[in-house]
Amino acid sequence: MPEQQINLGLDIPHSTEPAVVPQLRDEIAQAWGLPLGERVEIRLRDQPATFTGVLELLTAPAYPWNPRETLQLRIAGFTFNSPEIESWTSANLKFQI
């Protein structure tokens, strides 16, 4: 019986390139009203702590853009969804969602 092999993708080198190109990221940021690619402080619903770092978009949403669609985000290595954001602060501006 032949042996089956599963490719786990462990041989793929890690990349520090953004998951979404900056021009596309900026268009998505505008549609969702989020500071993607910027250094921010985020407070999440049901989380006692705040997270500070660059807000990253992990995967691009389907086009045409629907701002009600949930985005997969990351900040300081912590992954979460866009509806989990309670508020964010950037450049002395504070936004409540």
Could you report the per-residue pLDDT of 27-73, keeping only the tens digit for each? 999 999 999 999 999 999 988 889 999 999 998 898 888 999 999 99
Give the strands of the sheet with 39-44, arranged side by side: 50-54, 39-44, 85-90, 93-96
Q: Is 50 exposed, middle or buried (0-12, 13-18, 19+ CB in 10 A)?
A: middle
Q: Residue 9 pLDDT more than 60?
A: no
Quote the CA–CA distance of 29 and 3 in Å, as a whole number: 47
CA distance 55 to 41: 9
Q: What is the pTM of this model?
A: 0.72
Task: State the DSSP code for 59.
Answer: S
